[in-house]
């Protein structure tokens, strides 16, 4: 048997109600209450684990969802772990490209400085 529940009233605008109604009937959501309960559960589940941390939502296509499910079965890697690792790889790649760009800019500046005509030759 399910836990006892408490009735809570909320006010929603017409657009929000229309959006809720469009979700009724999808993925086992039988009524507005099911949609609202799922939204609240997703909000609470998506909260950052520690103070000062942020969380992000990433929409997954069907193919990516299937691939992540396979990786979970093979390696025990959750969607969150895969997303976090992917973000870290992205950050590392961008920082590396910035470092390379800085090195290139420095080399160009040194080369430019070395090839600038001296004032003594242009008087």
DSSP-derived secondary structure for 59-113: ---HHHHHHHHHHHHHH---HHHHHHHHHHHHHHHHHHHHHHHHHHHHHHHHHHH
- Residue 24: the pLDDT is 92
* Residue carrying the six token digits 């070395």: 114
What pTM value is reported for the model?
A: 0.53
- Residue 4: the pLDDT is 85
Cβ atoms of 52 and 58 within 8 Å: the answer is no
- Residue 121: the pLDDT is 59
* Parts of the chain with a pLDDT under 50: none
- Residue 28: the pLDDT is 87
d(CA 21, CA 33): 10
Cβ atoms of 23 and 29 within 8 Å: the answer is yes
- Residue 48: the pLDDT is 75
- Residue 101: the pLDDT is 85
d(CA 119, CA 113): 13
Neighbours of 113 (CB within 10 A): 8
């Amino acid at each position: 048997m399910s836990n006892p529940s408490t009735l809570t009233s909320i006010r929603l605008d017409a657009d929000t109600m229309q959006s809720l109604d469009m979700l009724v009937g999808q993925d086992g959501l039988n009524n507005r209450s099911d949609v609202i309960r799922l939204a609240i559960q997703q909000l609470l589940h998506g909260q950052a684990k520690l103070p000062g941390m942020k969380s992000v939502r990433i929409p997954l296509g069907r193919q990516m969802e299937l691939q992540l499910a396979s990786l979970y079965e093979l390696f025990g890697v959750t969607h969150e772990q895969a997303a976090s690792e992917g973000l870290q790889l992205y950050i590392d790649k961008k920082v590396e490209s910035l470092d390379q760009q800085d090195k290139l800019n420095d080399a160009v500046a040194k080369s430019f400085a070395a090839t600038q005509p001296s004032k003594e030759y242009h008087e």
